[in-house]
Amino acid sequence: MIQDFHGKTAVLTGAGSGFGLECARIGAQRGMNLVLVDVQADALARAEAEMKASGARVLARRVDVSDAAQMEALADEVRQTFGAPHFVFNNAGVGSAGLIWENSVRDWQWVLGVNVWGVVHGVRLFTPMMLAAAKADPAWRGHIVNTASMAGLLTPPNMGIYNVSKHAVVALTETLYQDLRLVSDQIGASVLCPYFVPTGISQSQRNKPAELAGERLTKSQLIGQAMTDKAVGSGKVTAPEVAHKVFEAIEADRFYVFSHPKALGNVRSRMEAIVNVQNPPDPFMERPEVGAQLRAALREG
């Protein structure tokens, strides 16, 4: 949807690392104004310094995206500083593993707060601004990208909270796409569904709220964390490569953005089971050794 990025404004949450940082780097290269948002102060400061050194106009704010008041204050400041943003990347996210009944209420509140409410706030606050700008100028173009995951299209075991949060983001973004099509041809939407890419999300505990930091992890959570670390650490697709796919999707008005298209075979199996009214397929069909390892680890002792 956006063809010329120079002088346009991008709001990026989770901008201190991973996809957010890499998209900020591309935005800076293309002459965009950057609104950098992260909850981790040191990572945000490093990103701000780097983008300013590259010549970009930068507004950097430490914000908890799950907090409505903080996000509202951010939106007001963006409006006053740059006007309506042209590119909104609701990207901040945290990961959490474990058997679904073993997660505490506070685990659920933390993960859904960041992964779902962070996107909700980004959409509800910036979309009206963008629509107003589009109405005032027929040449104005904008695009919203929300970060989900392949876990938003699949239901891998031992990571239930994360799956729930990312399925919500997929549904929210698909609906956003349809809603925008009802009212405007000037604003597009995309959902990013990465697979295992080294970004730092597997170390989300570094940004856990203080009241969660001291909670003892269950056996299933420790096993899930170790398996995720291994999968992410061995990932061959990089965050910069995914960031380029995001910008390509914006330029082509492409909705679904995948880091690992080969993983769509698992999505097809799931969808076929639904349509054929069959029980959910074995999530480890393509890598049975991983399923055997997980079952053995959870059942021992």
Q: Give yes or no for a contact between 239 and 197, defined as CB atoms under 8 angstroms apart.
A: yes
pLDDT tens for each residue of 134-161: 999 999 999 999 999 999 999 999 999 9
**pLDDT tens per residue, range 200-254:** 555 555 556 666 666 788 999 998 888 887 777 667 889 999 999 999 999 999 9
- Report if residue 296 sits inside a domain: no
Supply the DSSP string of 195-255, one letter for each residue.
-S--SSGGGGGGG--HHHHTPPPPHHHHHHHHHHHHHHHT--S-HHHHHHHHHHHHHHT-S
| Residue 3 resides in a domain | no
Known catalytic residue at 256:
no
Q: Quick check: is 300 in a domain?
A: no
Which band of pLDDT confidence, cut at 50, 70 and 90, is reported for residue 259? very high
* DSSP annotation string for 262-295: GGHHHHHHHHHHHHTT-PPPPTTSS-HHHHHHHH
Has residue 36 got a pLDDT over 90?
A: yes
Query: Is residue 237 assigned to a domain?
Result: yes
In a domain, 295, yes or no: no
Enclosing domain of residue 42: 9-262
Q: Is residue 278 part of a domain?
A: no
In a domain, 280, yes or no: no
Question: What percent of the chain stands above pLDDT 90?
Answer: 81
**Is 197 within the bounds of a domain?**
yes
Q: For the domain that residue 75 is a member of, what is the CATH number? A: 3.40.50.720
User: Domains in the chain: how many in total?
Assistant: 1
